[in-house]
Amino acid sequence: MTFTISRRSLGLALAATVALTGIPAMAQDTWQPEGPVRILMHTKPGGTADIFIRTLAATLEPAIGQPLVVENLPGAGGANQMNQIRRAEPDGLTLGINTVSHFTGMLTNLKGVFAPDNFSWIAAAQIDPILLFSSTESDIDTIEDLVALAKERGDGVVNIGGFGPVGSMQHIGISMFEKSAGIKLNWVAFEATPDILTALLGGHVDVGVSNLGPTLPFFESDRLEALAILGPDRLESLPDTPTVNEAGYPVNTDWVQVRGLFGPADMDPALQTQIADAFQLAMQAESYQDYAAKSGVETPDMGPEDYSAFVQQLMTVAEENLREQNLLN
């Protein structure tokens, strides 16, 4: 499966408004929530998804006239967040940010607890690859160094820290790399990227995996060494870092992180469209676009209908990848 990504085409009047003010114009019939909007996160503060919504809030809040109240509910593989969203009223005042791990979770550790039909899938927000990195204090300077060390030490000795349990999005990506490289790493699960970084810099894991956003300051301060990108292209902010395919370890580069917006089931389709449009317009602000470019993320053009169909496709792709990595019973 290939993810087709395109940026929303905006009219000249809207483009002019964004250029002049940095805040997209909102028509009178667009989303106008009657109170503060809760955005529930499945991660701790400081992760990629958390940075995304807090960055977007700066332009979205003035546009809708209400604050976004970000609540972090980590733990249980996303179940804490998903349970509250499933129980919420379908009025658009309680929403959540999802990642691919929501879908792999519904096929593994959360199977039988949650299913896609329990929710309304409102819009895709970001697509970006994951990358492997080490501490600049370590002897692992390249992806070849990592492979050599793993072969020297033997299966399951070199520790890699990433988000989510076995079967999560990042774990599947690393499993693809392991299979291609002929190695076996020891997966150490964390609930947030800052925890991965703390463990890596403290010498508790040998390498880490994450998206670029929350790790970029550590690359800029020369505390992290980028090893390889698990994605189709190099990243603008790390132009000298090869993809794993370029390094000689071919994987399916369609397996990238997808972040989206979802809510409780039975939300009115018109309300979903209004919310999706508001988010998409806010993402056209210059401040958000600067953040997106620096973080290496793309903004897909998917509203409720397209994103709901995409979720079904993604469930199929996730199941195929889980089976290929022998992670489904």
Is 249 inside a domain boundary? no
Is 113 inside a domain boundary? yes
Is 6 inside a domain boundary? no
Is 5 inside a domain boundary? no
- Domain with residue 157: its CATH number is 3.40.190.10
Average pLDDT over residues 161-187: 94
Question: Do 160 and 55 share a structural domain?
Answer: no
Structure tokens at 264: 């409780």
Question: Do 225 and 136 share a structural domain?
Answer: yes
Which residues, at least 6 apart from 21, have a Cβ–Cβ distance to it below 8 Å?
none
Q: What is the mean pLDDT of the chain?
A: 89
- Domain with residue 275: its CATH number is 3.40.190.150
> Which of 177, 212, 230 delimits the end of a domain?
230
Question: Do 146 and 223 share a structural domain?
Answer: yes
| pLDDT at residue number 25 | 47
Alpha helices in the chain (DSSP H): 12-21, 48-64, 79-87, 100-107, 143-153, 169-181, 193-201, 216-220, 269-282, 286-295, 304-324
Average pLDDT over residues 101-125: 96
Which residue's structure tokens are 């169909």?
309
Question: Do 205 and 102 share a structural domain?
Answer: no
> Which of 182, 215, 230 delimits the end of a domain?
230
- Number of helices (H) and strands (E) in the chain: give both, helices first: 11, 10
Question: Do 206 and 110 share a structural domain?
Answer: no
Indicate if the pLDDT at residue 16 is higher than 50. no
Confidence class for position 163, pLDDT limits 50, 70, 90: very high
Is 150 inside a domain boundary? yes
Structure tokens at 312: 């079904």
Strand order, beta sheet including 257-264: 68-72, 37-41, 94-98, 257-264, 119-128
Question: Do 106 and 194 share a structural domain?
Answer: no
Confidence class for position 21, pLDDT limits 50, 70, 90: very low
What domain range includes position 197?
130-230
Indicate if the pLDDT at residue 11 is higher than 80. no
| pLDDT at residue number 2 | 36
Is 302 inside a domain boundary? yes
Is 1 inside a domain boundary? no
Is 27 inside a domain boundary? no
Question: Do 61 and 166 share a structural domain?
Answer: no
Question: Do 149 and 101 share a structural domain?
Answer: no
Which residue's structure tokens are 């053009």?
301
Strand pairing class (159-163; 119-128)? unpaired
| pLDDT at residue number 263 | 98
State the virtual CA torsion across 49, 51, 55, 56 in degrees, nearest 10.
Answer: 10
Which residues, at least 6 apart from 114, have a Cβ–Cβ distance to it below 8 Å?
79, 82, 86, 105, 106
Question: Do 107 and 49 share a structural domain?
Answer: yes
Total domains, the chain? 2
> Which of 214, 230, 246 delimits the end of a domain?
230
Average pLDDT over residues 118-140: 96
Q: Report phi then psi at 137, rounded to 5.
A: -85, -10
Q: What is the pLDDT of residues 229-255, one digit of tens each?
A: 999 999 989 999 999 999 999 998 878
Indicate if the pLDDT at residue 144 is higher than 90. yes
Question: Do 112 and 169 share a structural domain?
Answer: no
Q: Report phi then psi at 117, rounded to 5.
A: -70, -10
**Alpha-carbon gap, residue 99 to 169, rounded angstroms:** 8
* pTM reported for the whole predicted model: 0.79
Question: Do 260 and 124 share a structural domain?
Answer: yes
Average pLDDT over residues 152-164: 96
| pLDDT at residue number 256 | 87
Confidence class for position 312, pLDDT limits 50, 70, 90: very high
Question: Do 173 and 110 share a structural domain?
Answer: no
CB burial class (10 A; 0-12, 13-18, 19+) of residue 329? Answer: exposed
